[in-house]
Amino acid sequence: MNALSTLIVQARLSWKNPAENLEHLEELLADSPGPFDLAVFPETFTTGFLGDSDLPHEDMNGPTVAWMREMASRYDSGISGSVVIVEDGKRFNRFLLATPDGKIQQYDKRHLFGFGGENERYVAGTERVLMQMGDWRICPQICYDLRFPVWCRNRDDYDLLLLVANWPGKRISHWVSLAQARAIENQSWVIAVNRVGEDGHGMVYPGRSLVISPGGEVVADLPGAEECRLLTLDLDLVENTRKTFPFQADADAFDFI
């Protein structure tokens, strides 16, 4: 699978209402502009960021994971985004990638947003995870992870940095600059999906979901309205970019937890 047809789902999320959000996202998928290999939802797409308080706990056998498996089977595609999962009494902001074979790949958010109190509610992940989808090697990241480039440094082990977020309007210039920097320094595709609308704390999210090429070109920059946009990523462009300017050979070595 050299070409990856990707559906960017820049959605408006309802606060603390998983059932309504799943119904709405299902409608967006049904109205999507064409067949896709991978659909990407924002961070915490069933509740909004920190919108899980006072809601029933959900684990990997819960309704959201079952729904993702169902959508992956229905559309014969990958379905991805982050949700709040409780496991062994611990709460995680967990990125999930469901594939048509029924499998779920997962990554727990490493950098919790202490400024917003996320570290008081959730447990940080400890593993840098790489996922596989066809020929594509994917490095998943969640929102605040974007500010920590060592964590997502490419070691010639991924082709796509896949980032989901609830990134507020007041710092949206950082979002754009950091996402573009991650593409340039890692010579990988970057897909960065943000939400739109206002949450239960009055925080406003302006969209600006991005697709950036391995050379740093902004291929798509979605405006502030809810939108599903279909784009095709070329795997050959990753290899060609790295061969044309092979600076990765001079990169510093980092040890990961």
- Catalytic residue positions, numbered: 43, 109, 143
Q: CB-based contacts of 88: which residues, under 8 Å, 6+ apart?
A: none
197 within 8 A of 74, measured Cβ to Cβ: no
Q: CB-based contacts of 13: which residues, under 8 Å, 6+ apart?
A: 21, 42, 44, 45, 47, 48, 51, 195, 197, 199
What Å distances lie between residue 22 and 12, 14, 62, 87, 118, CA to CA? Answer: 12, 10, 13, 21, 23
Rg over CA atoms, the chain: 17
Q: CB-based contacts of 63: which residues, under 8 Å, 6+ apart?
A: 18, 22
d(CA 101, CA 6): 18
